[in-house]
Chain A
Amino acid sequence: MSPSQRQADPSPGQTSPPSRRSVLRGAAGVGAAGFVAAVGVGAAAGPALAAGNSRAAAQSDTARPATGQPDTAAGPLVVYLRDAASGELDVFAGTSHAVIRDHELAARLTSAVRPSAKRG
């Protein structure tokens, strides 16, 4: 339990966007509709983080002040794609929230959960 979870939202720039590979890995394992992907953060970290984000613009949640530690070191990561056309993805980890814009990733996520796609 964190003493003050509501204050743990990161400041802009504190949270790194996830890799497309990690997001897709999660998406393939989630059969539910709604373009929600969930993976373990431990699996998402690593070399893939640096690769493939050149077109991703990241913006962290600034709704609340950042006085606590961003709780992203453990636990699941959830990606929510509300509207594939916008390419805007909400990324949730720990008590943090980042918004990234990546049309290519959005397209691949959408493709991953089409009925014809193989599901995990």
Chain B
Amino acid sequence: MSSHREAPEISKDPVADSTDVYAFVSPDAPDTVTLIANYIPLQGPAGGPNFYSFGDDVLYEIHIDNNGDGRADLSFQFRFQTKIADPDTFLYNVGPILSLDSPNWNNRQFYQVVADKNGQSKQLGSGLACPPCNIGPLSTPHYGALAQQAVHELPGGIKVFAGQRADGFYVDLGAIFDLGDLRPFENLHAQYGLGAFTKPAAGVNATAQLNVHSIALQVPISQLLWGSPHGAESDRGSVIGVWTTASRQAAQVWDARAGASVSSGPFRQVSRLGNPLVNEVLIPLGRKDFWNTEAPGDDKQFASYVAHPELASLLPALYPGVFPNLAKLAAAGTARADLEAILLTGIPAGIVPGFQNYTGPVQADMLRLNTAIKPSKKPSELGVIGGDLAGFPNGRRVFDDVVSIELRAIAGATVPLVNPKYTPDAAAALVTDGLTDSSVPSGYLDAFPYLGVPYSGFNVS
């Protein structure tokens, strides 16, 4: 989760597997938006000698829709190239790496960035260096400063970074995928008659010492919006939809003579991610990889899985007597207009005072960010349901507790937004996997690229 290994096929292709997308008005540069797409899930930091890198054969993209049709109006495209300085050593580095051009660093990666605006492509940068992976005190002794050298300035006031980061997403994977166990409430779980739990327990962050690879951009808001009136919170034109995709060429052959795989043909989308947990939790197993190939603008075909989430029926069964009102709602087959608004169209004006991120009637899974809402001075990791209009589902910040937010929404906490007569179960406002942003050992950075310094293999126990 949020989209780590979420579908059968893409779980076999980690370099193309998107894990999380973030979009938020930059707290330290509020005339810009920060966009982050993470790939390569669940990296063990000690994974040498061939430490993790982006796929040279993958086309990575971050897309912006600014007119509500679920199609990209602006796409930032990233292609990577690996360069090995000395093929006659097995070592990633032959001494400490103290700079991005260190002669001790044997296996380096560079990339180019292209902006595709309404079908017109413009190269923003090329030959941009990624930082190395964080190895340990001998190889990467000043990692934080070294990685910061890999923040590049592009034309138009854009910043870019591509490289390893600590996974900022926190989730109790080990419990949740053990038949929906939420440790803080596990004594209330039906437990299948096994009697495994007699009391509540604290959550365990499964990603606590794992890394990802991030592609991060900081873009002036003025470059993301055009056309519709924008600038005010109430302007629909102030809202952007954001998602990421990864694509591979259609044909791949293992060339045994060359000892390498060969790719050929047009690029075809194999991974997609907008809102956290949609493909992971709402889309059924048999359609997940197909979902990954589609555009958000075609998500009407998946809307029933959002309107009638399987998990809303499972919660009352897994936790008997805890969710009686949710059980009735699910049994009645009532479409969840609250979830459709949050995940597929944005929340229209008039529902949450001072807030809207509505992009129109087209149902499309995108992170929707109202760029006119300023960063919060006292952010709540529960975002909008925590009274913080600058957090999820108004875009997504790196520290937002999207697991608890979406669990509570699915449990019925947000139904009154569209049906004031509905009374949520008391548990709906409390349900959580027991984690907070303090469950992330690396913490977060106050400045771009915001995700924490990656864990080194040396320091992870």
Q: Do A and B come from one complex?
A: yes
Known: A3-B112, A6-B247, A7-B119. A38 touches B262 (CB 8 A): yes
Q: Which of A7-65 contact B (CB under 8 A)?
A: 7-9, 30, 32, 36, 38, 61, 63-65
Alpha-carbon separation in the docked complex, A75 to B250 (Å): 15
Known: A5-B59, A92-B249, A95-B249. A75 touches B121 (CB 8 A): no
List, in ascending order, chain B residues with CB within 8 A of A96's CB: 265-266
Alpha-carbon separation in the docked complex, A74 to B81 (Å): 18
Interface residues of A toward B: which range? Answer: 20 to 34
Q: Which of B84-138 contact A (CB under 8 A)?
A: 112, 114, 116, 119, 121, 123, 126
Is A4 part of the binding interface, using a Cβ–Cβ cutoff of 8 Å?
yes
Q: Give per-residue flags for A74-89: 1 if the beta carbon is below 8 A from chain B beta carbons, else 0.
A: 0111101000000000
List, in ascending order, chain A residues with CB within 8 A of B112's CB: 1, 3
From B123, B250, B255, contact of A97 by CB (8 A): B250
Minimum Cβ distance to chain B for residue A44 (Å)? 12
Is A111 part of the binding interface, using a Cβ–Cβ cutoff of 8 Å?
no
**CB atoms of B262 and A4 under 8 A apart:** no
Is B145 part of the binding interface, using a Cβ–Cβ cutoff of 8 Å?
no
**CB atoms of A95 and B266 under 8 A apart:** yes
Is B267 part of the binding interface, using a Cβ–Cβ cutoff of 8 Å?
yes
- Residue from the set A2, A3, A67 with the largest chain B CB neighbour count within 10 Å: A3
Is B71 part of the binding interface, using a Cβ–Cβ cutoff of 8 Å?
no
Known: A36-B251, A76-B253, A80-B251. A4 touches B266 (CB 8 A): no
**CB atoms of B264 and A92 under 8 A apart:** yes
**CB atoms of B266 and A3 under 8 A apart:** no
**CB atoms of B119 and A65 under 8 A apart:** yes
List, in ascending order, chain B residues with CB within 8 A of A2's CB: 79
Minimum Cβ distance to chain A for residue B95 (Å)? 29
Is A109 part of the binding interface, using a Cβ–Cβ cutoff of 8 Å?
no
Q: Which of A83-118 contact B (CB under 8 A)?
A: 90, 92-97
In the A-B complex, the 3 residue pairs with the smallest Cβ-Cβ separation, listed nearest first, are A92-B265, A78-B251, A92-B251
